[in-house]
Structure 1
Amino acid sequence: MFSWILALLLAVTCFVLATGFLWLVKRRRKEMQLGLQALAGMHWRDFSELVKRALHERRGLTEMSRHEDDTREPRSDFLMADASGHFLVTCKHGLAYRIGTAAINELGAAARLAGARGGILITEGLVDGDGQAIAEKQAVEVLDGRRLWPLLSPYLPGDIESGVKNAARHEAIRRIVIAAFASSTLGLLVGMGYQTVQVAAPAPVQAPAVVQAPAAAPAATAATDTAPATAAADPAPPATQAPVAGPDLNPDTETLDRYQQEISRALSKLPGVHSGIWQTRQTLVVNRSGELDQVWPMICDQVTRYPALSNVRIQLNSRPGVDEPVRWRQCTTL
Structure 2
Amino acid sequence: MSPILIALPVFVALGLAATAWLRRSPSSPAASQASERGAAQLGTLRWRDFTRLVLQAMHGRGYRTVVEEGMPADGIPTDGGDIVLERGGERTLLSVKYGSASIVGAQALLGLGGSATLRGTQKVIVVTPGRFDEEAMRMARQQDIELIDGEDLWPEVRPYVARPAQDTTAAPAPVATATPASPKMMGIAWGGAAVAAAVVWMIAQGLQSASTAAPVPMQTTAQTPAGASSTTPVASAPVIDNANAVPTDPAALERRRTETANAISTLFGVDRAFWSTQSTLLVYLATDVADPSSELCPLLERYPELAASRVQMQPPQGSTKSVRFKQCRSY
Normalising TM by the smaller chain, what interval?
Answer: 0.3 to 0.5
Of structures 1 and 2, the one scoring higher in RCO (CA 8 A, sep 6+) is 2
TM-score with structure 1 length normalisation? 0.39
TM-score with structure 2 length normalisation? 0.39
Q: Which has the higher helix share?
A: 1
Larger Rg: 1
